[in-house]
């Protein structure tokens, strides 16, 4: 699911919101949030700073929105991937695979999310920023809850031979998102190769009775 799809459906066709978000993802992802000047986004999009402020009141507001959209996509991807799985081992493989369904821009967006999770820890001074922050926090909890539920099912039916579903879910999430630190499109490994290796690693991590075989 692309970021653009996640923009509100009520937007005017002339809205620049989607293009601002895509531009910000490219800049924040490739050059870093701290390094990117807010005015540069306006220049890239070809609008003035005043017009930019119509969509986002600050660079942080835009960043939090990018993070919220990615978290929301992550929840949807997980649901879509795991709903069709017959058993916990298949659900784990599907959930891991869904994390790596990513365009190059999605990969940047996921790296941005991982690199700015500390923003979610403290109250924001502005109302719009704070709204996005609270949405992000509740989505983070939902993701942790969903992965914990998946692991718990595997523990309950004896497939996953670990004790603590929440801790195992946190480990799985750390493992899965850690890839965005080093993955680069066109790099040594393709996302297909990463998916395969990570699905196997995830199964080992929960001591699964069914570790997927490598191709």
Binding site for its own copies (CB under 8 A): 31-35, 60, 111-112, 115-119, 121-122, 164, 167, 170-171, 173-175, 177-179, 181-182, 189, 197-198, 201, 204-205, 207
Q: Cα dist. 203→77, 116, 194 in Å?
A: 19, 28, 14
Rg (CA), the chain: 19
Q: Cα dist. 131→50, 84, 125, 127, 170 in Å?
A: 22, 33, 11, 6, 25
- Could you count the other beta carbons within 10 Å of the beta carbon of residue 125? 9
Smaller CB distance to its own copies: residue 77 or 124? 124
Q: Cα dist. 35→108, 117, 181 in Å?
A: 15, 17, 18
Q: At what angle do helices 127-156 and 59-83 cross, to 10 degrees?
A: 20
Compute the least distance from the CB of residue 13 to its own copies, in Å.
Answer: 34
Smaller CB distance to its own copies: residue 34 or 86? 34
Inter-residue contact 3 to 22 (CB < 8 Å): yes
Compute the least distance from the CB of residue 8 to its own copies, in Å.
Answer: 26
Largest separation between any pair of C-alpha atoms in the chain: 59
Compute the least distance from the CB of residue 179 to its own copies, in Å.
Answer: 8
Smaller CB distance to its own copies: residue 19 or 177? 177
Compute the least distance from the CB of residue 202 to its own copies, in Å.
Answer: 9
Tokens 């395969």 -> residue: 196
Compute the least distance from the CB of residue 214 to its own copies, in Å.
Answer: 8
Compute the least distance from the CB of residue 11 to its own copies, in Å.
Answer: 28
Smaller CB distance to its own copies: residue 82 or 115? 115
Smaller CB distance to its own copies: residue 16 or 29? 29
Distance (Å, whole) CA 24 – CA 10: 22
Smaller CB distance to its own copies: residue 16 or 111? 111
């Amino acid at each position: 699911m692309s970021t653009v799809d996640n923009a509100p459906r009520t937007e005017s066709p002339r809205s620049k919101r989607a293009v601002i978000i895509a531009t910000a993802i490219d800049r924040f992802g490739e050059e870093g949030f701290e390094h990117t000047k807010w005015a540069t986004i306006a220049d890239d999009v070809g609008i003035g700073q005043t017009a930019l402020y119509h969509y986002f009141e600050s660079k942080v507001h835009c960043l939090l929105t990018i993070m919220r959209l990615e978290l929301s996509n992550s929840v949807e991807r997980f649901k879509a991937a795991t709903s069709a799985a017959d058993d916990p081992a298949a659900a784990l493989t599907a959930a891991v695979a869904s994390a790596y369904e990513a365009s190059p821009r999605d990969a940047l967006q996921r790296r941005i999310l991982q690199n700015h999770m500390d923003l979610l820890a403290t109250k924001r001074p502005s109302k719009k920023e704070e709204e996005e922050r609270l949405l992000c926090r509740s989505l983070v909890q939902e993701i942790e809850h969903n992965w914990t539920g998946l692991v718990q099912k595997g523990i309950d039916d004896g497939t996953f031979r670990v004790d603590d579903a929440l801790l195992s879910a946190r480990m799985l999430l750390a493992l899965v998102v850690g890839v965005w630190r080093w993955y680069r499109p066109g790099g040594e490994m393709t996302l297909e190769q990463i998916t395969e290796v990570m699905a196997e690693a995830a199964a080992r991590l929960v001591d699964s009775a069914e570790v997927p075989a490598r191709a």
